[in-house]
Chain A
Amino acid sequence: MKMKSVLFLTIVISLVFKPDFSFAGYDYINISNPFLKKIPIAVPLFKAMSGNEKEILISREGADLLSETLIFTRYFKVLNREAYLEDSQKSGIVTSKVVFKNWTGIGSEFLITCGVLVKGGVVDFEFRLIDTYKETMIVGKRYKGRFSERRKIIRRFCSVVIERLTGNKGYFNSKIAFISTGSGNKEIYLCDFDGYEPRQWTKTRNITLSPAWSSNGKYIAYTSYKKGRPDLYIENLKEKRGVVVAKEGINITPDWVPGKFALAATLSFSGDPEIYMLTGNGKIIKRLTENWGIDVSPSFSPDGKKMAFVSKRSGTPQIYILDLNTWKTERLTFEGKYNTSPSWSPRGDKIAYSSMNNGKFDIYVIDIKSRTPVSLTNNAGNNETPSWSPDGSLIVFCSTRQGPPRIYVMTVYGTDQRRLLEIPGEQTNPKWSPRDIKY
């Protein structure tokens, strides 16, 4: 059933009325600081093509969801609909019918028009992204799908918009795994990248911690006390079947090697918490750290050649980088007495982590070359466990700024910090999935 509907949805027609402009010709979004100046964009209500009830419903609901998703990316400022000079139900959706000065006049640099036609349970969307100053269409797409798939379709066009304007595929098919106590126990939950459709994934009825996505998005490894001890579970996302690593002591803090069915985790059966490389079936390949004291929380570089981790070898918890070719380990963080939870950026150039100063955690990002740490949070409770969006533009993290621990998202510059979702209980330890998750 699901397979069918996916196939059904993918009837996409690119509407190319003029030669398609290559991205290189434009400089829509300043890559060095893309969030500094938000791009003003107008998203009028979708035009109900035949005027039936369902079209009227989608007209507002769709325009709202599209606006919300554009705002989520932190690149745009969606102009208030009340300021629009024309009624989208009366104006045309094609570029040649657009009265550009009606949009530039209210300060809009871009316009998205959409016509929606609902016939026999099938929804037909016709989207256009228009540059109102250059008076050209940047991209046009047509999608047909079932009525129930309308949200998916709107998201898909959103991802096209972001790809055209940033040159980056975005994260519109990604998910976020996190821990929530809503059921009375710490369990793993999953939600869409923007907090939609949260649902409980594990039902361990016990303490469950540290979800980690495999790079193909098909497996999650985590620690749970299902059998009374902190054991490591490696499970297929869909089938929920897998293996358990249950050696004496702790079996914790998994992180998958990019592109491989292998992961690193801290095990303490030797008497000391050390990081080991394991197969996806839970067999030990080799020991990666050789040091008395705590070694924990591995995070691989996107090429899988290096591994950041936390070690107490210098007396306080600090972040180190192990080069898996040379087997050399170097210390990365020198400021602060308590640096933990490293998360390597998908672009490879930075590591986010949490640092405790005066008893409060804040999130920092350190550039690996310059070694300069920059704090992204400040004076807002504890801020911990950062995790990057797959395109490297956003960071999801846990904060106690409003009392109980909850999940927030911000840009990698620390701007636009907003709560991700509102569900009962406490939420901690978010992990952003790789780009495409089908679940």
Chain B
Amino acid sequence: MQKNLRICLALVLVVPGLLLNASCAKKPVSQQQSTTSMDNRAIQTDIERQRAEAAELAKMKAKEKFENTDIYFDYDESTLKSEAMEALKAKVEWLKMNPVVSVVIEGHCDERGSAEYNLALGDRRAESTKSFMVDMGIAADRLTKNSYGEEMPISSGNTEEAYAKNRRVHFSIE
């Protein structure tokens, strides 16, 4: 979204400039030529810079998306749901494009159940996530498991909605 916005903004600034140049026909030819070529060069580098920036931005966005998209589980379950698998496929693609990156896979639980059992359940969630990604071709040594059990909820309250948000696997880049 923001990438498109940047390009639009660039066009809004550049296009009137070009129109302005074309309309200045009364100016001496030589001056006009040199001005135009100078302007063109400046515009060219500006576009390149903006393209690079946009690419960098896109990269950053992809990385953020990788880190900020959690996958979710059913109560007391560690098997991957189909939505989770779809999300993981996208993560696998990103990892393939960023081969030097290593990640920590953090398993979390809702507050129901015992704290000790939930540490193990969080570990099982991280494990099934890791196995899936290894199966999709990511080297196991790039993926480290961690479990916080019920110790780090992101949503407080004891509604099913809050519980569902807390039953998650989160990714963080090492």
Contact = CB atoms under 8 A, between A and B. Distances in A.
Interface of A: 186, 207, 209-210, 223, 225, 228-230, 248-250, 252-253, 266, 268, 271-273, 293-297, 310, 316-317, 338, 340-341, 354, 356, 359, 361, 384-385, 428-429
A272 B147 CA distance: 12
- Smallest CB-CB A-B distances: 8 pairs: A340-B114, A273-B120, A294-B120, A296-B120, A250-B123, A268-B123, A249-B145, A253-B116
A359 B160 CA distance: 12
A232 to B, nearest CB: 12
Given A268-B145, A273-B123, A294 B115 contact: no
Given A230-B147, A271-B127, A252 B120 contact: yes
Query: Which of A266, A294, A384 has the most chain B CB within a 10 Å cutoff?
Result: A294
B86 interface: no
B133 interface: no
B48 interface: no
Chain B interface size, under 10 / 10 to 19 / 20 to 34 / 35 or more: 20 to 34
A250 B117 CA distance: 11
B127 A359 contact: no
B17 interface: no
28 contacts: A186-B151, A209-B116, A210-B116, A229-B146, A230-B146, A248-B145, A249-B123, A249-B145, A250-B122, A252-B120, A253-B119, A268-B120, A268-B127, A268-B145, A293-B124, A296-B116, A296-B120, A297-B114, A297-B117, A310-B116, A310-B117, A317-B113, A317-B114, A340-B113, A341-B116, A356-B113, A361-B114, A429-B115
A395 B146 CA distance: 33
A249 B127 contact: yes
Contacts of A294: 117, 120-121, 124
A248 B115 contact: no
Contacts of B123: 249-250, 268, 273
Contacts of B88: none
